[in-house]
Chain A
Amino acid sequence: MDTQEEVIVYARPDSLTKTNTHYCPGCTHGVAHHLIAEVIDEMGLRERTIGVASVGCSVFAYNYMNFDFVQAPHGRAPAMATGVKRVFPDKVVLTYQGDGDLASIGMAEIVHAAARGENISVFFLNNANYGMTGGQMAPTTLPGQKTTSSPSGRDVETQGYPIRASELLATLDGASYVVRRSLHDPKNIRLAKKAIRTAFEVQLRGLGFSMVELLSTCPTNWEMTPQNSLKWLEEHMIPYYPLGDYKVNPAVAEIKG
């Protein structure tokens, strides 16, 4: 029998532990973890990175990422990250936050971390609902979207309008790099990875606050198959949350170019 040399086309990044995640099948939290871990590997940052997990489905992110981690109270990850980064300015500090965590209970903390130009990188998973607690309305839930706490669909008259966090934070001078990407198909996943890399570059160069918003799926609470949820994201979320670069400090543009 002919022996053929094996070529490794893909290996688990060192920055991911060999643990099965608890995420539901088809959930894009896992994709986001992978991208962050791959970039940290490629940039050689694993031994100097400290992650701050938030409260939400990603509360156990520290079980899956193979570097030092702390776990913040709901919404407070940017404040905790500030504490870590101010003591260790030479470490790479990231937060990983859901949309309920970042745009509702933790709105003050994220706005002020950005306003201070806190030199941290924020990865913001927007899945338009509170995944962990079983699919309640989030500040990002779309008008008319049904959730367990907006059973007739979000009524903007009584339940208000969704918050576009990237656009909001981009208005702040302390924010250097704020972009929105999506995890619904391979092309966009590649673009998301590039943005994650840029966010870390921004931090390494001391350029201040960086955030990558990642549009994500929650097939379980959306009550859709994984495939339909990817489609729903593309057809419903992207029109409301357009992909793009909302803040790119001129110094960051140089890195990108």
Chain B
Amino acid sequence: MTRELWKGNNAIAEAAVRAGCAAYFGYPITPQTELLEYMSARMPQLGRAFVQAESELAAINMVYGAACTGTRVMSSSSSPGVSLMMEGVSYIAGTEIPAVLVDVMRGGPGLGNIAPAQSDYNQIVHGGGHGDYNLIVLAPSSVQESVDLTVLAFDLAEKYRSICVVLLDGSIGQMMEPAEMPPFQPLRTEYPEWAVTGAKDRERRFLSSIYLDPPQEEAANLRMLRRWQEVQANEIRYKTYYMEDAKFAVIGFGSSGRVALTAVRAARAEGIPVGLLRPITLNPFPEKVVEDLAKQVEGILVVEMNSGQMLEDIRRIAKGAAPVEFFARLGGIVPLPDEVLDEIRRLAKGPLTLEGHPRDRWLARMGTLN
């Protein structure tokens, strides 16, 4: 395959098709809509299932039904739509069946706007739906990585009978970049031993998230947790840049990580010994890497497009081993490399403190900015 120019949303859709996605259900919402539109043409072309549902609530429940057949199935949406999907997400998690969900985040809360944001980190990484469950969360920072992680999402979802979310922000969904498509995988013709396919020559099966008897629900919860431990042991992914000799570290995911990389390169050119950690799996989170990094460096800068949702995870993991600072733009604004570069310079100059909260210091600085 050669590299071609792809829009992020379309690229994810084509990657899903090539990963053997047999059914897609969705609802229009900016900045994700191109994905649905692409599927509306592509899936019927290949004789596969496509339904534009009446709502995201219906879409995720169509995904739920299709997932019960053991086939590869996905939906996509953006923040307000994903909020509506939380019911189905919890049920699918509780039924322990695989599904892929793409969330192209936009500014919020509420209707917010259609500009890129990362403010649904907590909703996706730390819950959102009811009950005890974990989602595998993959955060790409380019169109190529979106393609690769979409294919991986289907594999991981299946391997761990889990929902795998590809979590990106509107700028990656909307941008055009060269990307190479993966090879075509054949559609599944055999179904897993738990799938509901019609009770022909076998005992009937049923799939449900209901365990009326508390000890049974506890057993199900423990089973899911043990499976999650396997995910934690095997599936943590991240990228580091210029970290070998770094005295300072920037941590950012998705677009923030991408902007931060530009800033880190500029800072290196100025002689500042700074590196970057870009988590790719937000759940499971690369905790050990952050822990080690906190022991290595003199200061950490967390960059996000939200009010410091991942920041709280970093502070919890770093345990005060290194001072943490924070920079963010909110409301659908992508930070500029120069803004992050200024923050890196400030970090390198010091003085740094373990006292107080990095969000408060950032808020104080934002007061002079806005």
Spell out A's residues near B (CB within 8 Å). 46-50, 52-53, 59, 62, 66-73, 76, 79-88, 91, 108-109, 111-112, 116
How far apart sit A81 and B68, CA to CA, in the bound complex (Å)?
Answer: 10
Min CB gap B53→A, angstroms: 7
Inter-chain contact A79/B61, CB cutoff 8 Å: yes
B310 close to chain A: CB less than 8 A: no
Min CB gap B18→A, angstroms: 19
Chain A residues lying within 8 Å of B197, measured Cβ to Cβ, are 50, 68, 88, 91
Inter-chain contact B55/A108, CB cutoff 8 Å: yes
B46 close to chain A: CB less than 8 A: no
B64 close to chain A: CB less than 8 A: yes
Decide: A86 near B49, CB < 8 A? Known: A68-B204, A72-B64, A76-B61.
yes
Inter-chain contact B58/A109, CB cutoff 8 Å: yes
Between A and B, 6 residue pairs with Cβ closer than 8 Å are A66-B199, A68-B206, A70-B64, A81-B65, A85-B65, A109-B61
Min CB gap B130→A, angstroms: 11
How far apart sit A44 and B190, CA to CA, in the bound complex (Å)?
Answer: 24
How far apart sit A70 and B65, CA to CA, in the bound complex (Å)?
Answer: 8
Min CB gap A51→B, angstroms: 8
How far apart sit A76 and B88, CA to CA, in the bound complex (Å)?
Answer: 9
Inter-chain contact A69/B64, CB cutoff 8 Å: no
Inter-chain contact A76/B199, CB cutoff 8 Å: no
Chain A residues lying within 8 Å of B62, measured Cβ to Cβ, are 79-80, 82-83, 86
B198 CB contact (under 8 Å) in A67, A73, A80, A86? A67
Inter-chain contact A47/B88, CB cutoff 8 Å: no
How far apart sit A71 and B69, CA to CA, in the bound complex (Å)?
Answer: 13
B289 close to chain A: CB less than 8 A: no
How far apart sit A59 and B209, CA to CA, in the bound complex (Å)?
Answer: 11
Inter-chain contact A69/B196, CB cutoff 8 Å: yes
How far apart sit A111 and B53, CA to CA, in the bound complex (Å)?
Answer: 12
Chain A residues lying within 8 Å of B198, measured Cβ to Cβ, are 47-50, 67-68, 88, 91
How far apart sit A84 and B54, CA to CA, in the bound complex (Å)?
Answer: 17
Decide: A87 near B199, CB < 8 A? Known: A71-B210, A80-B64.
no
Min CB gap A21→B, angstroms: 15
Min CB gap A1→B, angstroms: 42
How far apart sit A69 and B25, CA to CA, in the bound complex (Å)?
Answer: 21
Decide: A83 near B206, CB < 8 A? Known: A67-B199, A76-B61.
no
B57 close to chain A: CB less than 8 A: yes
Inter-chain contact A72/B206, CB cutoff 8 Å: no
Inter-chain contact B65/A84, CB cutoff 8 Å: yes
Inter-chain contact B205/A68, CB cutoff 8 Å: yes
A112 CB contact (under 8 Å) in B23, B54, B210? B54
Inter-chain contact A70/B66, CB cutoff 8 Å: no
Interface residues of B in 196-239 (CB under 8 A from A): 196-201, 204-210
Inter-chain contact A87/B58, CB cutoff 8 Å: no
B206 CB contact (under 8 Å) in A71, A84, A91? A71
B51 close to chain A: CB less than 8 A: yes
B22 close to chain A: CB less than 8 A: yes
Chain A residues lying within 8 Å of B64, measured Cβ to Cβ, are 70, 72-73, 76, 79-80, 83
Chain B residue nearest to A74 (CB atoms) is B87
Inter-chain contact B68/A84, CB cutoff 8 Å: yes
B33 close to chain A: CB less than 8 A: no
Inter-chain contact A80/B200, CB cutoff 8 Å: no
Taking each of A81, A83, A111, which has the highest tally of chain B beta carbons within 10 Å of its own beta carbon? Answer: A83
Inter-chain contact A87/B69, CB cutoff 8 Å: yes
B63 close to chain A: CB less than 8 A: yes
B164 close to chain A: CB less than 8 A: no
Chain B residue nearest to A81 (CB atoms) is B65
How far apart sit A69 and B196, CA to CA, in the bound complex (Å)?
Answer: 7
Chain A residues lying within 8 Å of B88, measured Cβ to Cβ, are 73, 76
Inter-chain contact B204/A66, CB cutoff 8 Å: yes
Inter-chain contact A62/B58, CB cutoff 8 Å: no
Chain B residues lying within 8 Å of A47, measured Cβ to Cβ, are 198-201
Inter-chain contact B57/A67, CB cutoff 8 Å: no
How far apart sit A147 and B339, CA to CA, in the bound complex (Å)?
Answer: 63
Chain A residues lying within 8 Å of B73, measured Cβ to Cβ, are 83, 87
Chain B residues lying within 8 Å of A49, measured Cβ to Cβ, are 198
Min CB gap B197→A, angstroms: 7
Inter-chain contact B65/A82, CB cutoff 8 Å: yes
Min CB gap A111→B, angstroms: 8
Inter-chain contact B22/A87, CB cutoff 8 Å: yes
Chain B residues lying within 8 Å of A82, measured Cβ to Cβ, are 25, 51, 58, 62, 65
How far apart sit A120 and B197, CA to CA, in the bound complex (Å)?
Answer: 16
A69 CB contact (under 8 Å) in B23, B55, B206? B206
How far apart sit A149 and B146, CA to CA, in the bound complex (Å)?
Answer: 50
Chain A residue nearest to B198 (CB atoms) is A48
Inter-chain contact B53/A79, CB cutoff 8 Å: yes
Chain A residue nearest to B90 (CB atoms) is A73
Decide: A83 near B66, CB < 8 A? Known: A67-B204, A68-B204, A70-B208.
yes
Interface residues of B in 33-66 (CB under 8 A from A): 49, 51, 53-55, 57-59, 61-66
How far apart sit A80 and B51, CA to CA, in the bound complex (Å)?
Answer: 12
Chain B residue nearest to A66 (CB atoms) is B204
Inter-chain contact B206/A59, CB cutoff 8 Å: no
B6 close to chain A: CB less than 8 A: no
Chain B residue nearest to A93 (CB atoms) is B65
Inter-chain contact A84/B61, CB cutoff 8 Å: no
Decide: A68 near B54, CB < 8 A? Known: A82-B65, A83-B61.
no
Chain B residue nearest to A90 (CB atoms) is B198
How far apart sit A46 and B199, CA to CA, in the bound complex (Å)?
Answer: 7
